[in-house]
Structure 1
């Protein structure tokens, strides 16, 4: 992957932001890593370990996926998602909340799931999964907590470890639940970063993240000779559109190299 590494480094040199990139062929083990352990504000990438812990509890019978929750006005929060736009009182299953948390990055669904699974349990799962830089310290849209230093954090190495598990190498939950997570990630609706320049028929199971000055994307690209684990994190962007362009171009470069 030396040629791919060089192309990505050349592109990154055109930007002043912090960045990290991992590309790994799960079939061959060939990989490149740029700043894999660098810590970033997690943004919505933190929703991956939340999903994993919810599925772990579901598999253990502690949090049934069929359990319903009435979404009250007190639960509705701003930012990404659709639940904030719906009439309070609508009932959602845990499975539906997980789906909305991932495919639309719904913040209301995320906060409800944090309450259901428990922040301490989610962080215990993060530790148990061997993640070194990832921590859940606040709910979505709690900017007061972030300002006070309680930011959600992660790294490309940690995310790559999670996606590799979902891809099947070291699953964190029983196969049916792991397959469900993979299926949800494949139905991602936010496609303005890694998949932006990819042909429509290419399958990528992924999750994005956005904060002021940060744009992330990561997941599993299904391509000949793969699958490939890809994680791209950025921070300290001058403007977020630059991050969108950068991550999208990295996705294009990776796909052209693979193809």
Structure 2
């Protein structure tokens, strides 16, 4: 063994045992590293070739349990603040039609750097919208990146925008028109919300949501449940299942039919003005479709992500909204239910700090609320 013969037998035994322990730990560490490497490689191969639509940092946690092959709607969701979800700009399958309607108007607005829509002083009543717009423009100019804003007074249809027709990564804000698209089909009797969709491997995606943490093989979920999760938890898997069933291009065409101008088949993009148009339609749908409308409104008002539009508003003010995150992009689009409700959509690009961007959106929301709440 190479021991010093001057050592006693007891010392030789102790030294031999020490070497054996050392070899044992080396072998154990090697085995652990090998096992971990196997699982990492196996997991990567298991989802190789996927075309992810959504991507984000961490999932929203929930106590919802999947106990049956078919899930119904859970009775309650946690009210905690979560990390916002996102939709990537990974190209989708398309026939090559990349539509961006109203190019003349878009070019004009891009040249100006903001939407040219103004509200005349005589029509503004108690609110000086020109001053509000100017104040907001000065405020967002202090920060890195670009912020786009669109406001609609739902009582009088007054509206204005700043950088609101430029192209932004839509991220998870696209889940609003997706849900609206499906709800309209349910209202028309074309879709049964109790119909179940079965999970496939192609639906898998990490990021926000709760389904990714469950054993999904062979599981089926109702359309109603998937819609709820896609809004309240911004669940990416639920959204992918809905997109697979209803068709991504069908959704894009529907967004165009609503008046969306920044819509492309191969990219997940939008703008604050388009999102405001969708939110206004959602507001009208919720008001005129009884329990179905209340269900949609409930989902939007009970999302776990509340670190932007609602953050600085009074607790009693309901905000039906949807956030979105991507690299250098943080958004929130919503309906603020004051005595006279209004739509406010804020999108960003080129931001350097997610935390700063969330706070900027919260401040924008508070500034608008303080000016228009008593109009």
- TM-score bin, normalised by smaller chain: 0.7 to 0.9
Q: CA deviation at 1:31?
A: 2.6
Q: Is the 8 A contact 2:286 2:297 kept in 1?
A: no
CA distance, structure 1, for counterparts of residue 313 and residue 220 of structure 2: 36
- 1:119-162 superposed Cα distances (whole Å, 9 cap, x missing partner): 12112211221211134x4xxxxxxxxxxxx4201011111111
1:221 aligned to which of 326, 336, 342: 336
Q: Does 1:156 align with 2:272?
A: yes
Aligned with 1:16: secondary structure?
coil
- 1:151-202 superposed Cα distances (whole Å, 9 cap, x missing partner): 201011111111111111xx49972444432232122221011111112211
Larger Rg: 2
For 1:84, the equivalent position in structure 2 comes to: 212
For 1:241, the equivalent position in structure 2 comes to: 355
CA distance, structure 2, for counterparts of residue 179 and residue 60 of structure 1: 16
Q: Is the 8 A contact 1:75 1:112 kept in 2?
A: yes
Aligned with 1:96: secondary structure?
helix
Distance 1:173 1:3, change over 3 A: closer
Q: Is the 8 A contact 1:21 1:34 kept in 2?
A: yes
Q: Is the 8 A contact 2:180 2:282 kept in 1?
A: no
For 1:56, the equivalent position in structure 2 comes to: 184
CA distance, structure 2, for counterparts of residue 174 and residue 256 of structure 1: 29
Q: Which region of structure 1 is more displaced relative to structure 2, 54-63 or 214-223?
A: 54-63
Structure with higher strand content = 1
Q: CA deviation at 1:91?
A: 3.2
Q: Which region of structure 1 is more displaced relative to structure 2, 51-60 or 210-219?
A: 51-60
1:166 aligned to which of 282, 290, 304: 282
For 2:32, the equivalent position in structure 1 comes to: none
Can you give the 5+ residue segments of structure 2 that lack an aligned partner in the other structure? 1-128
Aligned with 2:320: secondary structure?
strand
Superposed counterparts of 1:176-255, under 5 Å = 176=290, 177-224=292-339, 226-255=340-369
After TM superposition, where is structure 1 displaced by more than 6 Å over at least 4 residues in a row? none
For 1:144, the equivalent position in structure 2 comes to: none
CA distance, structure 2, for counterparts of residue 172 and residue 182 of structure 1: 6
Distance 1:201 1:129, change over 3 A: same
CA distance, structure 1, for counterparts of residue 251 and residue 232 of structure 2: 20
Q: CA deviation at 1:74?
A: 4.7
Q: Is the 8 A contact 2:286 2:296 kept in 1?
A: no
Q: With CA pairs under 8 Å and 6+ residues apart, which has the higher RCO, 1 or 2?
A: 1
CA distance, structure 2, for counterparts of residue 60 and residue 42 of structure 1: 27
After TM superposition, the score normalised by the length of structure 2 is 0.61
Q: CA deviation at 1:78?
A: 0.6
For 2:143, the equivalent position in structure 1 comes to: 15
- 1:204-255 superposed Cα distances (whole Å, 9 cap, x missing partner): 101111001000101110113x210100010111122221111111112122
Q: How many residues align?
A: 243
CA distance, structure 1, for counterparts of residue 242 and residue 346 of structure 2: 25
Distance 1:4 1:95, change over 3 A: same
Q: Is the 8 A contact 1:53 1:117 kept in 2?
A: no
Aligned with 2:180: secondary structure?
helix
Aligned with 1:210: secondary structure?
strand
- 1:31-55 superposed Cα distances (whole Å, 9 cap, x missing partner): 3311221110100011112112222
Distance 1:55 1:174, change over 3 A: farther
What value does the CA root-mean-square deviation take over the aligned residues? 2.0
For 2:233, the equivalent position in structure 1 comes to: 104
